[in-house]
Structure 1
Amino acid sequence: MSQNLVLNPSFEEYKRCPSIIGNFNHNVTDWNTPNFGSTDYFNACSKDVGETNFFGEQSSRSGNGFAGMYVLAPENYREYVQGQLSRPLIIGDTYTMTFYISLAEKCSHAIRDLGVLFLKEPFKRESDEYINLNKILNEISDSYFVLINSQSHYIEKTGWEKITFEYTAKGFESNFIIGNFDKNSKISKIKMHSTKDPDASYYFIDDVSIEPLHSETISYSESQTIEKDQVLENDKVYTLKNVLYDFDKHELLESSKAELNQLYKYLDANKRLQIEIYGHTDDVGTQKRNDELSLLRAKEVALYLISKGLRPERITATGYGNKFPVADNDSEEGRALNRRVEFKLIFK
């Protein structure tokens, strides 16, 4: 498993090949726009919105897809990209965030004031009053803003410039927004060339990653059940093979509890271990229902362990819906493998 926690990090997966600009919110999988800005999606699959665009020419840094957004424009107009993580960040752990940008060749200015807003829930305001998100920085609970410190302006036009920083997680981060959060009057900018158009700064963005600073490859256990006296490895993802549910239900079956009892005994004997529980579904049903069902199933396991005596602060539960299948969904056997609950033990 890759250590990059950002879903669709290079904008390769899309709902439809772009045919017009400004349609990022409807085209790209696992990404959206948090305001009414019309962020752009480019992909080599398109003749109209491919590598030649309204600001010149640009090819992706990797793959075929990339995004573009205004970070300086008249009337404090801003565009942003909002991404999501495969799991929340772990409180106290340090992560490296990296992304790459390239200045559009025909825009008038370059800036250096980019930031990242980390969030527990995705942000969406139903008013164009919040077209510039600097107004919300002190309004949202469970959020944290990072202003990226740069000693120079981002002036690279032909290649891609790397932006990276380290971040210590607060423990709620599941989503993030990249862009410029300042007013025009406060932005540090330099003029690149004269143009008859209003002052503007526009950047392409690609290859976004958030990775644990000390990352290890995660492997899956081949164990079918948790056996008595079995030694479980830290940072290895295990599948609870005997934790089963009725169709479209999240209540534990009685036959599932023996394996969970063994898991509880192991955690009770190893009190410095914390556990992350991951719920998954097959692709039958709507995405919304699958996301809900996978979380309910993970929480049901967590609640059972708590009922046995495990302290709640040692447990986190996350639902991934049908995002991470381990088999194809074309057969009942494959769908059965995808309907699963996994866990990982973390030494604290």
Structure 2
Amino acid sequence: MSQNLVLNPSFEEYKTCPSLIGGFNHNVLDWNTPNIGTTDYFNSCSKEIGNINFFGNQKARTGKGYGGMYAMAPENYKEYVQGELSNTLTAEKKYTFTFYISLAENCSHAIRDLGVLFLKEPLKENSDKYINLNKVLNTKQNSHFVLINSQDYYSEKVGWEQVTFEYIAKGFESYFIIGNFDKNSKISKIKVHNSKDPDASYYYIDDVSVEPFETEKQASIESNLISENQELENDKVYTLQNVLFDFDKHNLIASSKAELTQLYNYLNANKRLQIEIYGHTDDVGTQKRNDELSLLRAKEVALYLISKGLRPERITATGYGNKFPVANNDTEAGRALNRRVEFKLIFK
């Protein structure tokens, strides 16, 4: 598994359960705010600042905690999150930067202008309403800005939307700031909700990661795919290595289909084999939802095989929820291993 270099990446570690808005800066470990902005911290441990909050209703993407910040507000007021890396990035090495956002349901506008400012030293809290990007880049020798060019507005309100880009490091990056760095007049925005309040764009944020981009990864995936000439044992449970799903979703992502196509080719070449498919989840969420989600994921795999031409009577799909973990659910790495789809071949 790739190594996430971001400390406290999903905001689960905190000093105290939040009871007031604006508590991100002094409550979330390994994170802070670099300007006068009062970024918010939400956690389901809190009745006051939990999933139901002043801007809507949202659950954390993973775990219990997540942040919230104004990307646009009156008088060019902005909020940011400043994070720290466990290791300085290596010069000329490629990394994948990813985070997830969700537009608060009660704010008026969605935007498509976000960016990440990389720094050697953290930007100290100051009284500015927003970060003057040109000033920082001119005065901080070891700084670099990445504008995230989105084709669409970040308007997802119910689920979480992935924001990701690949980055070749300069070799000084130890800290980073996520947010909007433009004045309101330059922001590309669209109205999504009528509100008596002033125009504003407010986003929840969760699951920030900076991971080495490994060129060997795709080759490793290809070598693990099933081939028609490979001998798979009957009545043995196999885990699909590259069949992945977004959090709380059952739709297959594009990168999952190569392995399933190879599995179909194997079954098509061995027509006396039947297949049992088993879906599993981690322990995040209710038992009822996990049971439902695991079955939906197993059925999604079955439907893909059927779409390729496999007869439905050769397939059964079962969901086991979080009943059979293969790793500890206390860590994100363990939960990722538990979110899996398995199969067993039966000769008849």
Task: Tell me if both proteins adopt one fold, taking TM over 0.5 as the criterion.
Answer: yes
Pair 1:77 & 2:99 matched: no
Q: What TM-score results when the alignment is normalised by the length of structure 1?
A: 0.60
Pairwise mapping of residues 190-201 of structure 1 onto structure 2 (< 5 A)? 190-201=190-201
C-alpha distance in 1 between matches for 2:215 and 2:65: 27
Runs of 4+ in structure 1 over 4 Å off: none
Pairwise mapping of residues 268-307 of structure 1 onto structure 2 (< 5 A)? none
Aligned residues, how many?
216
C-alpha distance in 1 between matches for 2:204 and 2:12: 14
Pairwise mapping of residues 35-184 of structure 1 onto structure 2 (< 5 A)? 35-126=35-126, 128-129=127-128, 131-134=130-133, 135-184=135-184
1:181-200 deviation per Cα after TM superposition (whole angstroms, max 9, x unaligned): 00000000000121111100
C-alpha distance in 1 between matches for 2:215 and 2:24: 31
Matched position secondary structure for 1:185: helix
Pairwise mapping of residues 203-218 of structure 1 onto structure 2 (< 5 A)? 203-214=203-214
C-alpha distance in 1 between matches for 2:96 and 2:73: 30
C-alpha distance in 1 between matches for 2:140 and 2:14: 29
Relative to structure 1, is the Cα distance of residues 215 and 42 closer, same or farther in structure 2, using a 3 angstrom cutoff?
A: farther
**Alpha-carbon contact 2:36-2:128 (below 8 Å) kept:** no
C-alpha distance in 2 between matches for 1:191 and 1:203: 14
**Alpha-carbon contact 1:77-1:132 (below 8 Å) kept:** no
**Alpha-carbon contact 2:35-2:128 (below 8 Å) kept:** no
Q: CA deviation at 1:136?
A: 2.6
Equivalent in the alignment of 2:245: none
C-alpha distance in 2 between matches for 1:148 and 1:13: 28
Amino acid aligned to 1:71: A
Amino acid aligned to 1:98: T
Q: CA deviation at 1:104?
A: 0.2
1:103-146 deviation per Cα after TM superposition (whole angstroms, max 9, x unaligned): 000000000000000000000143x2353343434332100000
**Alpha-carbon contact 1:3-1:216 (below 8 Å) kept:** no
Amino acid aligned to 2:79: E
Pairwise mapping of residues 233-272 of structure 1 onto structure 2 (< 5 A)? none
Pair 1:20 & 2:29 matched: no
Q: CA deviation at 1:38?
A: 0.1
C-alpha distance in 2 between matches for 1:113 and 1:180: 6
Measured on the aligned residues, the alpha-carbon RMSD in Å equals 1.6
Equivalent in the alignment of 2:202: 202
Matched position secondary structure for 2:7: coil
Amino acid aligned to 2:68: G
Amino acid aligned to 1:82: Q
**Alpha-carbon contact 2:37-2:129 (below 8 Å) kept:** no
Where does structure 1 lack aligned partners over 5 or more consecutive residues? 218-348
Relative to structure 1, is the Cα distance of residues 69 and 17 closer, same or farther in structure 2, using a 3 angstrom cutoff?
A: same
Matched position secondary structure for 1:148: strand
C-alpha distance in 2 between matches for 1:216 and 1:26: 40
